[in-house]
């Protein structure tokens, strides 16, 4: 078991498969973003070695992310190998959904459990403005394909940005009236330096809830308010699905955080909002033994 010094048992690993992306969301990266060369990124056999290592340390929940994980070549084969690794109980993915319409079925067949799909607005023009390059229709088809393939329950991630989509929370929330989906509204994290957005463009959970309650009436608290991962869940009156709020900025959920991240270039990152990282890929390429790598991971997690 991998424990940190606060006694949290860390068992959830998010693996970034690539830093590349086929979109350029305004809150995530600049339009002229430059990416790392392929050889700097973990290769398939290196990812699989790390998955085995983390699974042996008691990690059982894995998530693929990015950048955009679906732009990685060989994704379906990689998923099959990860889900076949002893100790891996669930593999999920966070994706922008653009390429999901053709990948959902093969990914489900390869053992993927579910997907989170990012969708910040239902307005095609605003979607284009937020993602710079995206076509809303592609994401919508991706969501349908995920449902048909059984990658359920589908979770939708919506980041809300002042001046872009704050009034759209109503339409996005309405999706849960007719669909058994979980729509999760996310407070924008202040990566302002990298994106050019201002910190004051962050819309708080409180503001989003006020907008939603003004339209639909009071929300019903789900699970007595207990966090589901990082989200607190509610339901619209007569809603089939759930609304989640991820208040990373106004109500950080650090105390219950059991996750670690592996960056696309093989660094173990213990917190999204802290700089500290442990490079695992360089030692692996320089011939470190599994025992040495395991110790690097355990020491890193202790410092989480
Ligand atoms: N490309 C995939 C996607 O967009 O779903 C996966 C990677 S993306 C970095 C993972 C999640 O982080 C997405 O739901 C995205 O909306 C969210 N995200 C990106 N930048 C963010 C920011 N500044 N604050 C909060 N969430 C952010
Ligand atoms: Fe790409 Fe996801 Fe970032 Fe948007 S949020 S630019 S889709 S990595």
If one counts every other C-beta atom within 10 angstroms of the C-beta of residue 299, the result is 11
Whole-number mean pLDDT of the chain?
93
Task: Assess whether pLDDT exceeds 90 at residue 7.
Answer: no
Q: Which of 126-130, 250-254, 255-259 has the highest mean pLDDT?
A: 126-130
> Which residue has a Cα nearest atom 13 of ligand 1?
118
N- to C-terminal Cα separation, the chain = 14
Strand positions, DSSP E, 131-199: 155-160, 182-187
pLDDT at position 274: 67
Those residues with Cβ within 8 angstroms of residue 258's Cβ, 6 or more apart along the chain or in another chain:
8, 9, 10, 11, 12
Q: Which pLDDT belongs to residue 273?
A: 64
pLDDT score of 122 more than 80: yes
Question: Which ligand ends up closest to the CA of 117?
Answer: 1
At 149 the pLDDT is: 98
Dump pLDDT digits (tens) for 230-239. Answer: 899 999 998 9
118 pocket-lining for ligand 1 (C-beta < 6 Å)? yes
Q: DSSP character for 10?
A: P
> Ligand 1 pocket test: which of 17, 24, 28 has the largest number of ligand atoms within 8 Å of its C-beta?
28
| Distance from Cα 202 to the centre of ligand 1, integer Å | 14
Distance from residue 71's CA to the centre of ligand 1 (Å)? 15
Residue 146: closest CA among 191, 99, 193: 99
| Ligand 2 touching residue 23 (CB < 6 A) | yes
In this structure, the residue with its CA closest to atom 3 of ligand 2 is 28
Mutate which of 69, 94, 131 for ligand 2 pocket (most atoms within 8 A of beta carbon) = 131
Distance CA 268, CA 263 (A): 6
Q: Which range (140-154, 165-179, 190-204) has the least confidence?
A: 190-204
| Atom 5 (ligand 1) nearest CA | 95
For residue 28, report the distance from its CA to the centre of ligand 1, in Å.
7
Cα 275 to ligand 2 centre (Å): 20
Query: How many A from CA of 287 to the centre of ligand 1?
Result: 34
Token digits for 260? 């670690």
User: What confidence category does residue 192 fall into, taking pLDDT thresholds of 50, 70 and 90?
Assistant: low
Token pair in block for residue 69: 């994980």
Pocket lining: 65 vs ligand 1, CB cutoff 6 Å: yes
**pLDDT attached to residue 193:** 58
As a whole number of angstroms, the distance between CA 131 and CA 14 comes to: 23
């Amino acid at each position: 078991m991998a424990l940190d010094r606060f006694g949290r048992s860390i068992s959830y690993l998010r693996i970034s498969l690539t830093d590349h992306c086929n979109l350029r969301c305004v809150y995530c990266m600049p339009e002229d973003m430059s990416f790392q060369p392929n050889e700097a990124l973990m290769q398939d056999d290196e990812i699989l070695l790390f998955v085995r290592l983390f699974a042996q340390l008691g990690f059982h929940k894995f998530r693929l992310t990015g950048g955009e994980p679906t732009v990685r070549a060989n994704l379906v084969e990689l998923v099959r190998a990860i889900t076949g690794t002893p100790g891996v109980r669930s593999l999920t993915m966070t994706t922008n959904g653009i390429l999901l319409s053709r990948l959902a079925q093969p990914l489900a067949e390869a053992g993927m459990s579910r997907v989170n799909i990012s969708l910040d607005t239902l307005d095609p023009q605003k979607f284009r403005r937020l993602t710079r390059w995206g076509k809303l229709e592609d994401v919508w088809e991706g969501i349908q394909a995920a449902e048909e393939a059984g990658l359920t329950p589908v979770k939708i991630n919506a980041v809300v940005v002042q001046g872009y989509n704050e009034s759209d929370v109503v339409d996005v929330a309405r999706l849960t009236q007719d669909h058994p989906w979980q729509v999760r509204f996310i407070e924008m994290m202040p990566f302002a330096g990298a994106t050019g957005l201002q910190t004051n463009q962050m819309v708080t959970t409180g503001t989003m809830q006020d907008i939603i309650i003004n339209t639909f009436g009071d929300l019903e608290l789900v699970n007595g308010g207990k966090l589901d991962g990082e989200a607190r869940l509610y339901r619209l009156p007569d809603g089939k699905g759930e609304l989640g709020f991820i208040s990373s900025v106004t109500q950080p959920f650090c105390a219950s955080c059991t996750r670690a991240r592996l960056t696309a270039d093989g660094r173990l990152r213990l917190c999204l909002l802290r700089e500290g990282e442990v490079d695992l890929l360089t030692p692996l390429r320089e011939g470190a033994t599994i025992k040495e790598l395991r110790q690097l991971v355990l020491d890193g997690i202790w410092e989480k």
